[in-house]
Amino acid sequence: MHVEIKTSDTKPLRSTFTHLAARFGDKPASRYQEATYDIQEVENFHYRPLWQADKEIFDASRTAIAMADWYALKDPRQFFYMSYTTTRAHQQEVAEAQFDYFDKRGLLATLSDGLRERVAAALLPLRHYEWGANMNNSAITGWAYGAALTNATMFATMDRLGLAQLLSRIGLLIDGNLGTSLAAAKQQWLEDAAWQPLRSAVEHLFIVDDWFELFVAQNLVHDGLLYPMVYQRFEQALAAAGAPAFGMLLTFPNEWHAETAPWVDAVCKTAAAESPANRALLAGWAARHRATALAALAPLAERLFGTAAGRQTLDEVDAAFGMRLQRLGLVAA
């Protein structure tokens, strides 16, 4: 018996999905492209929301910003679910190791009582700021248009819970897992005069109607001023006061902000480049919320650094933020 074995090549009819081939050509797509582009629902909606009958469930007109292609607002990190969770899992492992190192070597005991109280008073109330940022990014995700942006804002939504949990870990480390420091921080957020302007600013963001304005207010302006002041400048102040090791517990917030800021900048810069009308809107929003954020942070800066040093620190942080806005072309005329 003779058996003849033949091989043949099979040529695929296409290399990727039709909608991706229309955008990028008929070539293998990246995982980011497959998970991001042209998956926004655009038709076959069954009803309009009863509370907003002039809008579709997914409606680009919920913001005054106009884009020819909402998928232009892409994430330079190219995060999709797998790459995002892999990145954060690795960072969580590093953070756990840092907390274990700090705890097992008794480094907290090297801090004076006054310094521990200073750390708790400066950082722990920010758990509630992060909760507000979580709420705001969740709202952006719900109302925004185009998965290139909403995927990334959903990741940011979860990041803010992680940041709040990290601050909680610091509090439990300080009070020996009793939770008393967290309860005290909540009362500071609710009652302490130095925190009330920031609390008010956060709560007023909950009622911003335009989701893109909310993106600018929360992710560009408030984070762009608060993170450098608290996590960078205050960490430096702690090191100068004799607690350089404490900075390792703030590694993730600093790295997270350094990673996230280029995404925020890319979204704002792309939207501004779309039209003069977009640029004017974004610049106006940035200016208005910048003034609010500076007023909210002023008493906190004086509390953290002292009256004169606090004002100087906030001025320096604001000057750097102003240069960032200039690079984005978002300085109001």
Residue 197 is predicted with a pLDDT of: 98
Q: Own/partner pairs for 292-299, CB < 8 Å, 24+ apart? A: 292/201, 292/204, 293/201, 293/221, 293/222, 293/225, 293/226, 294/225, 294/318, 295/197, 295/201, 296/197, 296/198, 296/200, 296/201, 297/197, 297/198, 297/225, 297/226, 297/229, 298/197, 299/193, 299/194, 299/197
What is the structure's pLDDT at 333?
58
* pLDDT for position 1: 65
Q: What is the pLDDT of residue 153?
A: 98
Q: Structural domain boundaries of the chain?
A: 60-328
Q: What is the pLDDT of residue 106?
A: 86
What per-residue confidence (pLDDT) applies to 8? 72
Can you spell out the DSSP letters for 213-267?
A: HHHIIIIIIIHHHHHIIIIIIIHHHHHHTT-GGGGGGGHHHHHHHHHHHHHHHHH
- Per CATH, the number for 60-328 is 1.10.620.20
pLDDT in tens, the chain (333 residues): 677 777 777 777 778 888 888 898 888 899 999 999 998 988 888 888 888 888 888 999 999 999 999 999 999 999 999 999 999 999 999 999 999 999 998 888 888 888 899 999 999 999 999 999 999 999 999 999 999 999 999 999 999 999 999 999 999 999 999 999 999 999 999 999 999 999 999 999 999 999 999 999 999 999 999 999 999 999 999 889 888 888 899 999 999 999 999 999 999 999 999 999 999 999 999 999 999 999 999 999 999 999 999 999 999 999 999 999 999 999 865
